[in-house]
Amino acid sequence: MLTASDIMTREVITVKKDTSLKELGEILYQHHINGVPVVDEDGSLTGIICESDLIRKDKKLHIPTVVTIFDAVIYLENPKNLEKEFRRISAATVKDLFTPNPVTVDEKTPIDEIATLMTEKKVYTIPVMDRDRLVGIIGKADLIRTIPR
């Protein structure tokens, strides 16, 4: 049975939180990849950022509906959501858009479990860990390549 170690990419391209979104876009485009792990100064995994995060950044701001009753303003949407939306559209670095605590697998995880994780969690770039150390990455293309086997 194939496992993560059989299909993962071992030379992992990573970014840091202060990487600009322009630089991130160039990395994804030049290497034909969907996402990259975000690491700290020690190389420890802190999150992941994907093409979909960049696409969501350019989505138009949703202005919440407001109702005024007797001079009282009532927001029909949580103000925290509005704050998050403003942060998203004004994002300049990976720190503004990345997903902390990403879904990960270890080297011995069978590929059918990885496929299930991708489907259920809707994540298509999964870091492969050896305890706390990043040792590889698996994208949906890596899984697709296993089909002919």
Domain count, the chain: 1
Residue 106, domain member (yes or no) = yes
Q: How far apart, in whole angstroms, are the C-alpha atoms of residue 116 and residue 104?
A: 13
Give the tens place of pLDDT for each residue, 9-35: 999 999 999 999 889 989 999 999 989
Residue 149, domain member (yes or no) = no
| β-pair type (105-106, 125-130) | parallel
What's 70's domain CATH number? 3.10.580.10
Give the tens place of pLDDT for each residue, 90-116: 678 999 889 999 999 999 999 999 999
Q: How far apart, in whole angstroms, are the C-alpha atoms of residue 15 and residue 125?
A: 14
- Token couple for 119: 């489907």
114 — phi, psi (to 5°)?
Answer: -65, -45
CB 25 within 8 A of CB 93: no
What pTM was estimated for this model as a whole? 0.77
Q: Which domain holds residue 42?
A: 4-144
